[in-house]
Chains A and B, each alone.
Chain A
């Protein structure tokens, strides 16, 4: 606590407006030996203290100065989560530049759009794979781009592009520049203003091309003040230096930025970079984070992983596991009914379950030490949350979007309501449009606008300056907000019924066999669905049944598999009213992919693209 107070004094003491960079510097001054980052390399988690990392940030920032980055210049980062991402990000903010994060999965065409749209002058490409995407675009189209910094030298030998700079030489350049121009960086940082843009966050764009939401220093500070330092949001008190966070979601997404970078520079926990999205599970087991934020897709995967693995256990273990799960369900229900808190009964039940199943299960999931977990960025089925709450992982759903720096609602400790996204943060403006129930917000976290798109900016704002989120919500008990769906996603059948598809889709997705589901029915007589199966689990299921298959497509065409999914659909239908029942469905014959345009970079289904690509399938159902 004292560190935070000192830090605030330091940053208020004439050092300009606090930015994420100045906060990192203050940590380096006040707690230089505290571990700030861990990155796994050759099997070992290398530790970087605040002092180490600030030195790197300082060098990188001086390197940017040496490359002539002026206030307001854009620096783009195209990389998986790694230490260099954050160093680059903070260095850019330190020189009053604007960080633009790209998704590692962005294909060349999108990289071209993004690079030309934001007009970045410095680009950080992690390795050859990402560099090649820039190379494919051609120089003439990227007139603003001056330098490309790369971190992995493998495969880069023989590249004679004069824009290329190796990371280490870039830092060296910064070191030399610092000696030649001492104090320049400090002066630049001290000149930081509230209205300085600090990042462009490109929204995933389920409709149309991505738009870059402009966030300023004051947006970020507001977000840190409201979300990171919100009293009663995190179980067991505010995040602090003893906390561990695993960074594995794309850092260009605002949610990961808030729950790793901004939380870290705000409160000082340690960030641990997962090696890759495929090793998240092992990395979680090693780190056992205390704070864990995940998108519904990850929660669903963890849930499916647990059920599938338990099914493969020996009979005795299976028996005890089932017992544990039924205990978990019971505990989950009790806790949910009690605002997320234990009652005496659930505590007693939990003690039994802890010994039998919960402790080792949480250890395996990497959530043994987890004191607060969050779910956001998309809707999640309540069953999944209840499962995790039951086994003792305190998951809280929250809601927000890029355009309001994710400051909207959260479930507070002790006042959780399952199925809602919680209550608005204290002192923010949040209202429902009386006409269509759209959620609107107004506070200091609301963005400046979309980069270079004034018309679209105007479209998202009401006349009296409220941000239109595009989500339809309703009040629950007058305090909590329940999200119905995206306005654009709501289906009106030919019978004139309004149906929210995401609830049905999420219910389908609670089955470990269903990876993605898209409910269709706009202007039709009844609802139908396109369903994408999870190759791992369905493949495993088929193998166990002695069902031979060759490819993904072959698997989706097996009558047995269709029957299996029919079972899942029937289960879901039972939970909903008759008009909301799915009469027919088709399995998608390929795995959905960002590169093929079916998914956004955040792995959300692009409805319009899907309707186009799988039009025949859809038509065959009507």
Chain B
């Protein structure tokens, strides 16, 4: 009801994703902004170009975050993050919504990636590949992963919590091992180099020139675009489709059943929620998301060995859920961007510091303390890419940061970034009271 946001006259109105006019407008603006990002629209993609911001000392000087947004390479990181959003939404359905802790998400990504490669990749002497068009290999990757998920799901009916986590952990090692067998190499290629993956081009069938080329630069609707820009747009569209599904699953009968199982599986079963069926649905849906994301990811990276789909990747997804806020779509999206973009920001930040270290003033002194460029410095961050022990290089520092962040969030903000947002929102929503 217009002007009476709490007056619901039908269940449809009550479960609307965007219940108010304001929210609809914001959503439309957000989507428009997302699609404008890859183009050089000043406010979105290059704030440092704005004279006003330029005049502010540190920002105009290129503080990492602002400089990062103005950089050309950031488009690739954004595409990475958006693919990870799709995969993380899958894990959110399984772990956040249905409460089945899975450490095997990387395995399902891998299954998706190689199903995609098997269907859409080009056959060589050493690897399989059928060169099928994307409209087959992309959903096919999802379906392949989902089938594997269905095979695994009965385990979840028998096992809970830690035990399930260990079984799914086993999947990851199983996957890496399979990639190393002679049979597995036909799918995954050489264990150290990997194989090439299908490219994101829209074809009707196996014709030479694609209907719409995404992996080559060219013009769309009269706008000249690089392949990065095109991939960004395509991945953004795919992500929106999956966000749409993820948001809607939550408010369906299935979504409510999954949440009932999460809260107490025995109680759910007593209320008539078929545990076996819904755990199967949870695994299948989650794996479908992972499969599609895996295939996209592999295609986006281009070439990668099977060992990339390892435990670290699985843990990264757990970190995304915990930092973002398990069980919520918005939290998962926030977590994905946070976890994927954080390393880049840290790297940019240390680069920025090392640039300043030579100069004078406060920034230089701080840099001196934090960084250790030469032998004998005691700063915790090393500027070298390979370091033996104590001064951490940027990659190791990121791993440490994940660990610290997971601990901090679990203790202080179990609802993650989303929880912080909720707190901030409620502070204003409850104005002028506190409850």
Chain A contacts to B: CB under 8 angstroms: 38, 43-47, 285-288, 309-310, 312-314, 317, 320-321, 324, 356-357, 360-361, 364, 369
Does A287 contact B433, Cβ atoms closer than 8 Å?
A: no
Does B9 contact A309, Cβ atoms closer than 8 Å?
A: no
Give chain B residues whose Cβ lies under 8 Å from the Cβ of A364.
432-433
Which chain A residue shows the least CB distance to B3?
Answer: A369
Does A44 contact B10, Cβ atoms closer than 8 Å?
A: yes
With A43-B8, A47-B9, A286-B6 in contact, is A320–B432 under 8 Å at CB?
yes
Name B11's contact: one of A38, A44, A357 (CB within 8 Å).
Answer: A44
Ranked nearest first, the 3 interchain pairs of A and B with the lowest CB-CB distance are A286-B6, A313-B434, A309-B433
Check if B4 is an interface residue, CB within 8 A of chain A: yes
Measured between alpha carbons, how far is A43 from B9 in the docked complex, in Å? 9
Measured between alpha carbons, how far is A43 from B10 in the docked complex, in Å? 9
Which chain A residue shows the least CB distance to B12?
Answer: A44
With A43-B14, A369-B3 in contact, is A317–B9 under 8 Å at CB?
no
Measured between alpha carbons, how far is A29 from B14 in the docked complex, in Å? 31
Does B432 contact A310, Cβ atoms closer than 8 Å?
A: yes
Give chain B residues whose Cβ lies under 8 Å from the Cβ of A369.
3-4
Name B8's contact: one of A45, A285, A288 (CB within 8 Å).
Answer: A45
Give chain B residues whose Cβ lies under 8 Å from the Cβ of A288.
3-4, 6-7
Give chain B residues whose Cβ lies under 8 Å from the Cβ of A45.
7-9
Does A312 contact B431, Cβ atoms closer than 8 Å?
A: no
Which chain A residue shows the least CB distance to B4?
Answer: A288
Give chain A residues whose Cβ lies under 8 Å from the Cβ of B432.
310, 313, 317, 320-321, 324, 356-357, 360-361, 364
With A287-B4, A288-B4, A369-B3 in contact, is A46–B434 under 8 Å at CB?
no
B252 CB, nearest partner CB in chain A, Å = 18
Does A360 contact B435, Cβ atoms closer than 8 Å?
A: no
Name A287's contact: one of B7, B11, B434, B435 (CB within 8 Å).
Answer: B7
Give chain B residues whose Cβ lies under 8 Å from the Cβ of A286.
4, 6-8
Give chain A residues whose Cβ lies under 8 Å from the Cβ of B435.
309, 312
Give chain B residues whose Cβ lies under 8 Å from the Cβ of A310.
432-433
Does A38 contact B9, Cβ atoms closer than 8 Å?
A: yes
Which chain B residue shows the least CB distance to A325?
Answer: B432
Given contacts A288-B7, A310-B433, 20 further A-B contacts (CB under 8 A): A38-B9, A43-B11, A44-B11, A45-B8, A287-B4, A287-B7, A288-B3, A309-B433, A309-B434, A309-B435, A312-B434, A313-B432, A317-B432, A317-B433, A317-B434, A321-B432, A324-B432, A357-B432, A364-B433, A369-B3
A42 CB, nearest partner CB in chain B, Å = 9
With A43-B14, A44-B14 in contact, is A285–B6 under 8 Å at CB?
yes
Instruction: List 13 contacting pairs A-B, 8 Å CB cutoff, sorted by A.
Output: A43-B8, A44-B8, A44-B14, A286-B6, A286-B7, A286-B8, A288-B3, A288-B4, A309-B434, A312-B433, A313-B432, A360-B432, A369-B4
Name A313's contact: one of B3, B11, B14, B433 (CB within 8 Å).
Answer: B433
Measured between alpha carbons, how far is A285 from B11 in the docked complex, in Å? 18
Measured between alpha carbons, how far is A312 from B7 in the docked complex, in Å? 27
A240 CB, nearest partner CB in chain B, Å = 16
B198 CB, nearest partner CB in chain A, Å = 49
A53 CB, nearest partner CB in chain B, Å = 15
Chain B contacts to A: CB under 8 angstroms: 3-4, 6-11, 14, 431-435
Measured between alpha carbons, how far is A310 from B435 in the docked complex, in Å? 9
B310 CB, nearest partner CB in chain A, Å = 46
Measured between alpha carbons, how far is A321 from B9 in the docked complex, in Å? 33
What secondary structure prevails in chain B residues at the interface with A?
loop
Measured between alpha carbons, how far is A324 from B433 in the docked complex, in Å? 13
B18 CB, nearest partner CB in chain A, Å = 19
Measured between alpha carbons, how far is A321 from B431 in the docked complex, in Å? 9
Give chain B residues whose Cβ lies under 8 Å from the Cβ of A357.
432
Measured between alpha carbons, how far is A44 from B8 in the docked complex, in Å? 6
Measured between alpha carbons, how far is A369 from B9 in the docked complex, in Å? 18
Measured between alpha carbons, how far is A47 from B4 in the docked complex, in Å? 15
Which chain B residue shows the least CB distance to A244?
Answer: B4
B243 CB, nearest partner CB in chain A, Å = 27
Give chain A residues whose Cβ lies under 8 Å from the Cβ of B9.
38, 44-47
Which chain B residue shows the least CB distance to A357?
Answer: B432
Give chain A residues whose Cβ lies under 8 Å from the Cβ of B431.
317, 360
B6 CB, nearest partner CB in chain A, Å = 4
Measured between alpha carbons, how far is A294 from B435 in the docked complex, in Å? 25
A457 CB, nearest partner CB in chain B, Å = 45
Which chain B residue shows the least CB distance to A305?
Answer: B433
Measured between alpha carbons, how far is A320 from B434 in the docked complex, in Å? 13
Which chain B residue shows the least CB distance to A45?
Answer: B9
Measured between alpha carbons, how far is A321 from B14 in the docked complex, in Å? 32
Which chain A residue shows the least CB distance to B431?
Answer: A360
Measured between alpha carbons, how far is A526 from B232 in the docked complex, in Å? 86
Measured between alpha carbons, how far is A317 from B426 in the docked complex, in Å? 13
B85 CB, nearest partner CB in chain A, Å = 32
Give chain B residues whose Cβ lies under 8 Å from the Cβ of A43.
8, 11, 14
Measured between alpha carbons, how far is A47 from B6 in the docked complex, in Å? 15
Measured between alpha carbons, how far is A187 from B431 in the docked complex, in Å? 57
Give chain A residues whose Cβ lies under 8 Å from the Cβ of B6.
285-286, 288
B307 CB, nearest partner CB in chain A, Å = 52
Give chain B residues whose Cβ lies under 8 Å from the Cβ of A287.
4, 7
Measured between alpha carbons, how far is A357 from B433 in the docked complex, in Å? 10
Give chain B residues whose Cβ lies under 8 Å from the Cβ of A309.
433-435
Which chain B residue shows the least CB distance to A361?
Answer: B432
B5 CB, nearest partner CB in chain A, Å = 9
B338 CB, nearest partner CB in chain A, Å = 27
Measured between alpha carbons, how far is A287 from B6 in the docked complex, in Å? 7
Measured between alpha carbons, how far is A288 from B3 in the docked complex, in Å? 9
Give chain B residues whose Cβ lies under 8 Å from the Cβ of A324.
432
Measured between alpha carbons, how far is A324 from B431 in the docked complex, in Å? 12
Which chain A residue shows the least CB distance to B429?
Answer: A360
Give chain B residues whose Cβ lies under 8 Å from the Cβ of A47.
9
Give chain A residues whose Cβ lies under 8 Å from the Cβ of B433.
309-310, 312-313, 317, 364
Measured between alpha carbons, how far is A45 from B10 in the docked complex, in Å? 7
Give chain A residues whose Cβ lies under 8 Å from the Cβ of B3.
288, 369
Which chain B residue shows the least CB distance to A314?
Answer: B434
Measured between alpha carbons, how far is A513 from B6 in the docked complex, in Å? 31
A442 CB, nearest partner CB in chain B, Å = 43
B159 CB, nearest partner CB in chain A, Å = 37
Give chain A residues whose Cβ lies under 8 Å from the Cβ of B11.
43-44
B433 CB, nearest partner CB in chain A, Å = 4
A20 CB, nearest partner CB in chain B, Å = 26
Output the residue of B433, B434, B435 with the most chain A CB within 10 A.
Answer: B433
Measured between alpha carbons, how far is A364 from B6 in the docked complex, in Å? 11
Output the residue of B7, B9, B14 with the most chain A CB within 10 A.
Answer: B7
B107 CB, nearest partner CB in chain A, Å = 42
Measured between alpha carbons, how far is A159 from B358 in the docked complex, in Å? 93
Give chain A residues whose Cβ lies under 8 Å from the Cβ of B10.
44
A50 CB, nearest partner CB in chain B, Å = 16
Give chain B residues whose Cβ lies under 8 Å from the Cβ of A320.
432
Measured between alpha carbons, how far is A317 from B434 in the docked complex, in Å? 8
A320 CB, nearest partner CB in chain B, Å = 7
Measured between alpha carbons, how far is A175 from B277 in the docked complex, in Å? 47
Measured between alpha carbons, how far is A451 from B9 in the docked complex, in Å? 42
Measured between alpha carbons, how far is A364 from B3 in the docked complex, in Å? 14
B345 CB, nearest partner CB in chain A, Å = 31
Measured between alpha carbons, how far is A46 from B3 in the docked complex, in Å? 18
Measured between alpha carbons, how far is A364 from B428 in the docked complex, in Å? 12
Give chain B residues whose Cβ lies under 8 Å from the Cβ of A38.
9
Measured between alpha carbons, how far is A129 from B8 in the docked complex, in Å? 30
Give chain A residues whose Cβ lies under 8 Å from the Cβ of B4.
286-288, 369
B428 CB, nearest partner CB in chain A, Å = 9
Which chain B residue shows the least CB distance to A289?
Answer: B4
B219 CB, nearest partner CB in chain A, Å = 50
Which chain A residue shows the least CB distance to B13?
Answer: A44
Output the residue of A47, A324, A360 with the most chain B CB within 10 A.
Answer: A360
Measured between alpha carbons, how far is A357 from B9 in the docked complex, in Å? 29
Measured between alpha carbons, how far is A286 from B435 in the docked complex, in Å? 17
Which chain A residue shows the least CB distance to B11?
Answer: A44
Measured between alpha carbons, how far is A369 from B5 in the docked complex, in Å? 12
Measured between alpha carbons, how far is A361 from B430 in the docked complex, in Å? 9
